[in-house]
Amino acid sequence: MLVSTMVEDWEPLFADSDSHDEVQRILSGFIKGSNVALMAYGIMEHHVHLLVGHPENGGGVSKFVGGFKSLVSRRMFPDRKGIWKPRFDDVIVISDHVFRIKLNYIHDNPVRARYVRESEDWRWSSARFWLREEPHDHLTRSWSWVERKSVA
């Protein structure tokens, strides 16, 4: 499932390297304790894209996204309420073809925004994992999570 979640009023709360790094650290830590498979991600200045899977589909992903958003809010903006739009957009990925389209969309986002020339140059995405095959502790290329009730 492709999940996109936006900051309220498209405020650029993650506009600098430090905030991008912190969102990335929170995502990495949060994915460890979940049973969601993280296949791709992209962190932009006012939104985050996640390509995630859960063996029970929608409910597990919704709970994961809500928890991730809450943790980002509490850790990064403890004195603010409601930094995120209350909902998130999601697209169910039904084939390898659609998966590749969504994966490319996430990775090309910083190029389209003219932040970088090549997808792999954006440190706050999974592009290097997919395009350069660099290791990443919290990402998977495997679909094995589909058949399991939890992700190891």
- By the 8 A CB rule, do 150 and 55 touch? yes
Residues of the chain with pLDDT under 70: 56-58, 144-152
pLDDT at residue 102 in the model: 95
**pTM, to two decimals:** 0.91
pLDDT for the residue numbered 1? 87
* Annotation: CATH topology of 2-147: Alpha-Beta Plaits (3.30.70)
pLDDT at 142 (0 to 100) = 82
HSE-up (13 A, CA, CB side) for residue 103 = 19
Which helix (H) or strand (E) element contains residue 37?
strand 37-43
Per DSSP (E only), the strands in the chain are 2-6, 37-43, 47-53, 89-91
Residue 83: its pLDDT value, please? 96
